[in-house]
Chains A and B, each alone.
Chain A
Amino acid sequence: MLENAFVGTRRYFTLLAVLATLSAVGFLVYLKQLSFGLGITGMSRDVSWGFYIAQFTYLVGVAASAVMVVLPYYLHDYKAFGRVTILGEFLAVAAVTMCLLFIIVDLGRPDRLFNVLKYPTPNSVLFWDMIVLNGYLFLNLVCGWFVLEAERNQVPPPKWLKPLILLSIPWAPSIHTVTAFLYAGLPGRGYWLTAIMAPRFLSSAFAAGPALLILLALLVRRYTKFDPGREQIQTLAKIVTYAILVNVFFFFCEVFTVFYSRIPEHMDHFYYLFYGLQGKGWLVPWMWFSIVGMCIAALLMVSPKIRQNETTLALTCGLIIITTYIDKGLGLISGGFVPNPLHQVNEYVPTVPEIIITLGVWATGFLILTILYKVAVSVKEEIRA
């Protein structure tokens, strides 16, 4: 099947070339980071995680959301999704790959990466994160690939695949739960110390992931002969609607608990993000845009008219992707570290090299995604022919 990746239109190869170039530029800047150290980023003694870990957190959600197409198809026998499961699974493969790359570029000593395997430490959540992420990558790659191959050969998928597919369903929320536990279990970080961290992660993931999948499905329909289907997109839209509503609800649950209890160590992070603290707060406009935009998007999605019109649906999905990204990407990490445990406000702003490396990783992920989607779409076109 892979041979389908080597033939294609000029547009396909141009896209690959652009992504490969961006990825190579990112790699060159990464070499600079390797030799100088993580000092080329904006991270500091006080904000010791930044842009990389933020992307990682967001993309774990995107990866986990593949379950939203796999689950209805395999557990509820919702036949329509048979056509798009492969798009969800391959999106998950690309997203998890980006997650792993973001962890690697964030390590101070990537040469010692395998110490995590050499000295396994079950009391560290990072150890479990390593297991669930790699497991999820494996499951999606194997399930996606073999189902697609069986489909091309017009034979039933191998029998041994079914348990793996079923396993991938609970595995998906597990990756995002474990990722939430990275933050939620730390004493003295008021912003993260909340039991609904994992549920919040899942709700924003199940909104942002399927929203991205809708946009990808629309692109696939536009640029290939394969149509993921109107019904499929509409069902995904309903999933996005419920998830984004729950996500907004969870946010206000958080706000109530923090501000009604009035515990300073929990309030101060919200003050920093939405109001500014000690005269600092570059994230304030971003955070307001994020939460107001998210509320508006949720309301828009409730309206059947807007949801059923694919242009307004695409725009609303775009808004959801951006607003959840700001909330989880920019706000979550910075907001957790500022103010620091000594109640000082030292802000974090990503630097240019940091952003180039980040773009490089995204480009690598989209390169993988493009190739995988090309393979999948070619098979679908071939069958139809």
Chain B
Amino acid sequence: MADYKNEFGWFAPKPTVEKKIYSLKAVAVGLGIFLVVFGAPLLLNMGQVHPVPQPSLDTPAIQKLAEKERQCVEPTEWMRANHMQLLWDWREQVVRTGERYYTTSQGKKVLASLSNNCMECHSNKSQFCDQCHNYVAVVPNCWGCHLPKEQNVAKAEGK
């Protein structure tokens, strides 16, 4: 049995092994399966109409406020686009630096807390938060730990 060599610097005159041509049919079948699997979400949802979410501001805490004070920590338009980033920043700020207050663009100091500030006014989590999140299919993982306090409000309204 002749030994072969593969040390550096050793050449053999033999040309490289020629490349094989693969079956076109197999490639087409593979591509087809790929398209079906990855296109499934699109195909399954085709033609379905989902109602546009209508988040409501009708909660006891907001109703209690005077008309003029009915404003979130930042303007509504800005909040709609950036609330996730704001919550993220609050989270870093409160946990990592211990600074628990946020200064709004109007110069007001507010408590930077999802459970203890946001949810005080927006006590209708399933209506206010979930509706939009379900519509755009995002699952924020806040609620595994933080409590929406919705049950408390439901109880309060019950009596």
On whether A and B touch (CB less than 8 Å), the answer reads yes
Chain A residues whose CB sits within 8 angstroms of the CB of B10 once the complex forms = 156
Query: Contact at B20–A154, with CB atoms within 8 Å?
Result: no
Chain B residues whose CB sits within 8 angstroms of the CB of A28 once the complex forms = none
Closest beta carbon of chain B to A271's beta carbon, Å: 42
Closest beta carbon of chain A to B31's beta carbon, Å: 17
Our pick among B3, B11, B17 for the contact of A152 (Cβ within 8 Å) is B17
Query: Contact at A3–B8, with CB atoms within 8 Å?
Result: no
Query: Contact at A155–B16, with CB atoms within 8 Å?
Result: yes
Given A3-B20, A384-B1, A154 and B12 contact (CB-CB distance below 8 Å): yes
Our pick among B7, B12, B16 for the contact of A82 (Cβ within 8 Å) is B7
Query: Contact at A154–B8, with CB atoms within 8 Å?
Result: no
Q: Which of A233-250 contact B (CB under 8 A)?
A: none
**B45 at the binding interface (Cβ < 8 Å):** no
Query: Contact at A155–B8, with CB atoms within 8 Å?
Result: no
Closest beta carbon of chain A to B64's beta carbon, Å: 39
Q: Which of B1-45 contact A (CB under 8 A)?
A: 1, 3-12, 14, 16-17, 20
Chain A residues whose CB sits within 8 angstroms of the CB of B8 once the complex forms = 156-157, 159, 162
Query: Contact at B12–A151, with CB atoms within 8 Å?
Result: no
Query: Contact at A383–B4, with CB atoms within 8 Å?
Result: yes
Chain B residues whose CB sits within 8 angstroms of the CB of A154 once the complex forms = 12, 14
Query: Contact at A155–B17, with CB atoms within 8 Å?
Result: no
**A147 at the binding interface (Cβ < 8 Å):** yes
Given A3-B20, A156-B11, A151 and B1 contact (CB-CB distance below 8 Å): no
Closest beta carbon of chain B to A266's beta carbon, Å: 38
Q: How many A-B residue pairs have CB under 8 A?
A: 33
Question: Please, how many angstroms separate the alpha-carbon atoms of A157 and B8 in the complex?
Answer: 6
Q: Which of A105-154 contact B (CB under 8 A)?
A: 147, 150-154
Question: Please, how many angstroms separate the alpha-carbon atoms of A274 and B68 in the complex?
Answer: 76
Query: Contact at A82–B5, with CB atoms within 8 Å?
Result: yes
Chain B residues whose CB sits within 8 angstroms of the CB of A79 once the complex forms = 7
Question: Please, how many angstroms separate the alpha-carbon atoms of A151 and B12 in the complex?
Answer: 10
Chain B residues whose CB sits within 8 angstroms of the CB of A156 once the complex forms = 6-11
Among B4, B6, B8, B17, residue most surrounded by chain A Cβ atoms (within 10 Å): B6
Q: Quick one: closest B residue to A83, CB to CB?
A: B3
Question: Please, how many angstroms separate the alpha-carbon atoms of A284 and B12 in the complex?
Answer: 59
Query: Contact at A82–B17, with CB atoms within 8 Å?
Result: no
Question: Please, how many angstroms separate the alpha-carbon atoms of A153 and B14 in the complex?
Answer: 8
Chain A residues whose CB sits within 8 angstroms of the CB of B9 once the complex forms = 156
- 7 A–B contacts from the bound complex (CB under 8 Å): A83-B3, A151-B6, A152-B17, A153-B16, A155-B11, A156-B9, A227-B1
Given contact pairs A82-B7, A383-B4, a sample of 12 additional A-B residue pairs in the complex whose CB atoms are under 8 Å apart: A79-B7, A82-B6, A83-B3, A151-B6, A152-B17, A154-B14, A155-B11, A156-B8, A159-B8, A162-B8, A382-B17, A384-B1
